[in-house]
Amino acid sequence: MTKLPLILIVGPTAVGKTELAIQLAEKFTQRGEIISADSRLFYRGMDIGTAKPSLEERARVPHYLIDIVNPDETLSLAVFQQKAKDIIADIHARGKLPFLVGGTGQYIRAVTQGWSPPEVVADERLRSELEKIASREERGVDWLHDRLTQLDPESAQKIDARNVRRTIRALEVILTTGRKFSEQRGQGDSHYHLITIGLTRPRVELYERVDKRIDAMFANGFLDEVKGLLEKGYSPTLPSMSAIGYRECVRVLKGELTIEQAKVEMRRVTRIFVRRQANWFKESDPQIKWFDPNDEESFEQIEQYILDSIK
C-alpha cells in the first residue's frame, strides 16, 4: 500500500457514528484515534445541543478537534483542513489508525479530496453588510441563503442554511469575483488510502432517533446550557449560535416559544438537515461501503471490511 489508510465514518445525524467509531478504534491492534469532522463540535461550552461525545467516551479513545475554539471565535475551512492533516500525520507517525468521523460533508472532503477554499481576500465592508442582513428580522439568515440559492444552487444545496458564516463566505466570494463559489474549489486525488464506512437507517427510524435525542437534550439541561452561554456574554447572533437548537432555545428564554414549540421546530429543521446530508453522502456512491447498524452482524462485517482494506 503506497498510501497510508484513513478510515472515514460518515452518515446522517443521529445514525450512530460516534459509538461505532469508538468501538472500532478500541478493537484494532494498532488502536484508533478519532478526528472530528463535525463543525458543531469545535465550540467550547456547546455540549448538549451538539450531542458532543461525553468526557467518558473521549477517555476511551483519543479525540481531536473538539473544544478548540470559543463560541465567539471562528475556525475557517482552511484552518480545519490543515489541523486535520497535521493530526492525521501524527497519528500515522505513531503507528495508529486515524478515523475521520462526522456528518459535515465539506469538512470531510476538504481533508480527503484536497479541497482548497477559494483564495479570495476578505472584503470586510461587504462581509459587515452581509452580517447586518443576517441579524435583521425582516431579512435574516434565510434571506441570505435564498440569495445564495439564486446565485449558486450547488453551493446552497451543500451549505446548511443555519451555517451563517459559510453562507456569508460563499456570497462574499461570489460577489467579489463574479464566479460561483462551487466553481472555485480546487480538488485532486486523495493523499490517503480511504476506507469509507457509511451508516444508514430507514428514514422513519432515523427521525425517531432524532426526536428522542431532542427530548434527551432538554431533559439533560439544554436550556441551562444556552442560558449560561448568554450570561457569559456570547451573543445569540453569533454564527456558532445558529446551530440547530440554540436559536430555538434563545427564543424559549425570551418567551417567544414554549419548550414544546422549540422541539417541534428543531425536529423540522433537523429533518431538512438530514436530507441535505443525503446529498453529500449518497448511497449510490461507489466509494462508500454502507452498513445498517440494526444488522446484528454489521459490526463484525465493518471490522472485516477495514481489515481487508488495510492489508
Instruction: Break the chain down into helix, strand, coil percent, rounded to 5.
Output: 55, 10, 35
User: What would the pLDDT profile of 54-106 be if each residue is shown by its tens digit?
Assistant: 999 999 999 999 999 999 998 888 899 999 999 999 999 999 999 999 988 88
For the domain made up of 5-116+186-309, the CATH class stated in words is alpha beta
Crossing angle (nearest 10°) for helices 105-112 and 77-93: 50
E strand or H helix at 277: helix 259-280
User: What would the pLDDT profile of 22-66 be if each residue is shown by its tens digit?
Assistant: 999 999 878 999 999 998 999 999 999 999 999 999 999 999 999
E strand or H helix at 273: helix 259-280
User: What would the pLDDT profile of 139-173 be if each residue is shown by its tens digit?
Assistant: 788 888 899 999 888 888 778 777 787 888 888 88
**CB within 8 Å of 149: residues ≥ 6 apart:** 156
For the domain made up of 124-183, the CATH class stated in words is mainly alpha
Domain boundaries, the chain: 5-116+186-309, 124-183
Q: Which three cell numbers stand for residue 295?
A: 444488522
| Contact status, residue 35 vs residue 84, Cβ threshold 8 Å | yes
pTM value surpassing 0.95: no
